[in-house]
Each structure stands twice: as structure tokens, then as C-alpha cells.
Chain A
Amino acid sequence: MYPLKYHKAASVDDAVAILTKGDSAKLLAGGQTLLATMKQHLAAPGDLVDIRAIAGMSGIKAEGDTLVIGAATTHAEVAGNSDVAKLCPMLASLAAGIGDPAVRHAGTIGGSIANNDPAADYPAGLLAVAATIVTSKRKIPADEFFDGLFTTALEEDEVITSIRVTRPKRAAYAKFRQPASLFALVGVCVADGAGGVRVAVTGAGDDGVFRHDGLEAALAAKWSADAVKGVKVASDGLLSDIHGSAEYRANLIRVMAGRAVAAS
């Protein structure tokens, strides 16, 4: 690691002020991605703004049929929360499948979606249930938030404060793990919720998380694992690497979509 200045933000305004003034300042949440990136010198912020101590930044509450998840809530807390289990069990099982226990004790939902790794789990889950990302400036629908590889709609001085998820009628996430990284080789989330019937895919797109029209149409017509069997999933625009070719991932998308529907 190289020299940096650590700040513990007392409020969202405080965090924004340091972000604006600082030397290529960056927010710090669980540090599970950012610290590793800094060790590799892929990021070199002079100032780090820790948001975890800000009041209201972590924790989960239910407002009627809507879950409000603080941005600094850890994966372990989402996995074990009773409101999540009641309103959107898909998110609890998704969070329980992220990385390993130590990663889940530290890593946060806000850090995960701000990072928008093309193989991360939350982007698929939140896009499928048409979640809303609440920031220090505005409310961003998931459809507009995820903007491609490691890219989001966030501005430099914008802080995610919470994520809002309206109870879907049904939803499930099926992940085919890349056993070394623990991330998704392919992960598919199917949901019938606030955004209608949706199928969101992570781990496979060469531009990050995406929705699949063909699978959505099939499930909108008939919500059953059999309905996705006949859907053609093209390999265009899919990732191809040592872990799997684009064709292999295309096939996995269909298979994982079927498993997700079966589990919903």
C-alpha cells in the first residue's frame, strides 16, 4: 500500500464534501474490492472516505411492501435478515452465495453495485426486481444505474445511501460459480415483480449485466422451467475466456434460467 489519508465520514454531506475536496478521493465501504484494487495500483486515491459509521447507512427496514437496505449493509446482514426473508427471499439467498464468510462479513451491497463487476451477483438481482438506487442526489432506477463493465450512472461526488426493493410476486437467482474466484461464471435472476417479468444475467455479458428479451417473453407467456427450454440464447456479445467460451455461457444462461424458475 502507498500513503493515503483516511477519513471517517460523520454524515453523507461530510462524505460528499471530502469527495469533492480530496485528492482523487474515493469512498470506502467493506474494502473487499477497493483495497485489493489499490494494492494492484489499479486505483490510487489519496483520500479514502469511510462511510460505514454514518448514521442510517447500514441496516434494513421494511416500509410496507418495500425493503429499504442501507448502502453499507453487509452481505451477511442481508442474508440473515428476517424482513428480507419475508419480502424478497431471493436477495437473502443471493447474498448468502457471495464469496466466502469473511467477504460477506465485510463487503456491502452499496460497494458491490458501485463497483459493478461484470460477474457480481447483486447487479442481476437488483435489475431483475427493478430496484431503485437512492443516492445523495437522486433516485436511480436499476435499468439506468448499471452502465457496462465496472461503470455506473454514479457521478464522482455521488454516494449511494440505500437500495429500495418492492416485494416481487416471485423471484429466484441461480448461480453457476467460478470455483476459484467464487464469482458467477453465469448467474441468472428471474423475477415477476415491480418491473413485470424480467430475466437478468450476470457473469456472461461482455458489457456487464443485461436483460434477456427472449427469456422474458417466454416466461411472461408461461412461468415454468419448461418454457425457457425452447428459447434460443445467442452467443453474440457474451464473454469468452479460459473459464468458458461464449457458446458455453449462452447454454448456461438457458440452463440457469430454468433452474431459477424451478426454484422460484
Chain B
Amino acid sequence: MTKVTMIVNGKAVSREVPDETLLSDFLREKLRLTGTHVGCDTSQCGACVVHVNGRAVKSCSTLAVALEGAEVTTIEGLSNGELHPMQTAFNEHHGLQCGFCTPGMIMTSVDMVARYKSEGRKLTAEAIRTELEGNICRCTGYHNIVRAVEDAAGKM
């Protein structure tokens, strides 16, 4: 067991957990932040993507105890009263059906838009598709997800 302290969605949290605890389990079971979904648990589907120190990572492939002092943002931490522009865009463009992949899609997309903006690169529809390669959706067929990301990118 190791005591780990991290900042999750802006608040410091400490828990004593077994060393093998995955960040996905830490978030869902210790903190009850069940917005982070676990689809495959083998780093293929991207449903579990969260931000660690500002970068998108798969929480099913990260050990919680390795994150002492880290800043973690989950889907629950995106909105501050009002929905984040990416959440609104997914809603408006029907970028989700069952919603299982959505938290990971949104966390990946927010990271993507922020990265392209900071590097001054143009985020084309083609680039969005490439960037979403690690996020699998079994419902939408992706078109509306790409539209949502394009729309939100203009508003972020």
C-alpha cells in the first residue's frame, strides 16, 4: 500500500491504495468519479482517457501511485458550471449515441485542440481523424464526432 496525493479536478486528494491500482480504478472506485469509462482495459479503446499534467493519457495504462503530486483532469472537471465548448459541440452535432466512448473522445479532443493551438498548426478534419485513432466508437460512425471537434475548435 502507498499513500498517494494528487490534484484531481483542482482539489487535492489523498488515498492509501495498493501499488498495483490503475489510475482508472483509482478515479472510479476510490474517488467515485465514474465519468471515466473502462472499455477494453488494454489501452486500445480510449474510453478511459484523462489529462495528467495537461496531457491526454489512458488511465487504464497508468499506475495511480506513480502520480504523486500530479494534476489530473477528468470529464467531471471540464465544466465549471457551464458545459465546456467541446461538450456542447458533441451535444449539438449528435457526436454521441450510447455515450460510452464520449468521456474519452472529449478528453482526447480537448487535448488535441489545445495542442494544435499552442503549436500554431491547423486542425483539419483529416488531422482530427488521425488524432482520434486511439479512440473507438461503436455507435456514431465518427462523422458527427469530427464535426463536433471542428466546431468546438473554433470556440475554444
Contacts and interface: CB of A to CB of B under 8 A. Distances in A.
Contacts of A103: 43, 58, 134
Interface string A7-42: 010000000000000000000100110011001100
B56 A101 contact: yes
Given A1-B20, A32-B43, A182 B133 contact: yes
Nearest to A80: B119
B57 A39 contact: no
A103 B111 CA distance: 13
A105 interface: yes
Given A6-B2, A6-B19, A36-B43, A102 B63 contact: no
Given A36-B42, A101-B56, A106 B62 contact: yes
Measured as residues with beta carbon below 8 angstroms from the partner, the interface class of chain B is: 20 to 34
A106 B68 CA distance: 16
Given A31-B63, A36-B42, A39-B42, A102 B134 contact: yes
Interface in B47-63: 49, 55-58, 61-63
A50 B66 contact: yes
Nearest to A40: B42
A36 B61 contact: yes
B22 interface: yes
Contact of A106 (B18, B42, B57, B112): B57
Nearest to A6: B19
Interface in A158-202: 182
A3 interface: yes
A5 interface: yes
Nearest to A7: B19
Contact of B111 (A3, A5, A101): A101
A79 to B, nearest CB: 11
Nearest to B22: A1
A93 B27 CA distance: 34
Contacts of B71: none
A99 interface: yes
Binding site of B, secondary structure by majority: helix, strand, loop or mixed? mixed
Contacts of B22: 1, 35
Interface in B97-125: 108, 111-112, 115, 119
A4 interface: yes
A221 to B, nearest CB: 36
A8 B66 contact: yes
A99 B58 CA distance: 12
A35 B66 contact: no
A42 to B, nearest CB: 12
A100 B134 contact: yes
B131 interface: yes
A105 B61 CA distance: 12
Given A1-B22, A3-B18, A100 B46 contact: yes
Contacts of B19: 3-6, 48
B24 to A, nearest CB: 11
Contacts of A101: 56, 108, 111-112, 115, 131, 134
B18 to A, nearest CB: 6
Contacts of A1: 20-22
A106 B53 CA distance: 12
Contacts of A48: 19, 63
B20 A4 contact: yes
Interface centre among A52, A99, A106 (most CB of B within 10 A): A106
13 contacts: A6-B19, A6-B20, A6-B65, A35-B63, A48-B19, A76-B55, A99-B134, A100-B46, A100-B134, A102-B43, A102-B56, A102-B134, A105-B55
Interface of B: 2, 18-22, 41-43, 46, 49, 55-58, 61-63, 65-66, 68, 108, 111-112, 115, 119, 131, 133-135
List the 6 shortest-distance A-B pairs measured between CB atoms, nearest first. A100-B134, A6-B19, A1-B20, A105-B55, A100-B133, A102-B58
